[in-house]
Structure 1
Amino acid sequence: MSEDRGPTFDGVRIGRPATGALVDAGYRSQADLPEDLDELLALHGVGPRAVRLLDEARRGA
């Protein structure tokens, strides 16, 4: 069983499945994420809501 990394990724509350998927894929901060966040949808656990929240955080919305 993998360690629970909580629902927050680098200050953005995207949920546990999405946070775990990003960490497992090697992302450690928002700066590590690809320019096209839609690429993250290919990761199991990352859905449109998580991508939207990360995009809003990136744009400072």
Structure 2
Amino acid sequence: MDDDADAGPEFDGVRIGRPATRALSRAGYTTLAELPEPLDELLALHGVGPRAVRLLNEARADR
């Protein structure tokens, strides 16, 4: 079974959608703390769009 099949719409508790969650998982990220700074670098990943980056930035600021 493919691990990507289990990717839900949340990444580390942030609801960013399945494509973005799957893209981050494939890139090896598992937590918000592991993500690069600035998060805009994630836009290069297929499946991660501006909305996901905005939500991740907001979650990072809240933590």
TM-score (norm 1): 0.93
In structure 2, give the amino acid aligned to 1:48: P
Other-structure match for 2:20: 18
Identity of aligned residues (%): 72
TM-score (norm 2): 0.91
Q: Which structure has more helix as a fraction of its residues?
A: 2
Distance in 1, matches of 2:49 and 2:6, equals 18
5+ residue gaps, structure 2? none
Distance in 1, matches of 2:20 and 2:6, equals 12
Alignment of 1:1-61 (within 5 A): 2-60=4-62
Return structure 1 stretches of 4+ with deviation > 2 angstroms.
Answer: none
Cα RMSD over matched residues? 1.4
5+ residue gaps, structure 1? none
Q: State the number of aligned residues.
A: 61
In structure 2, give the amino acid aligned to 1:6: G
How far the C-alpha of 1:51 sits from its partner, in A, is 0.0
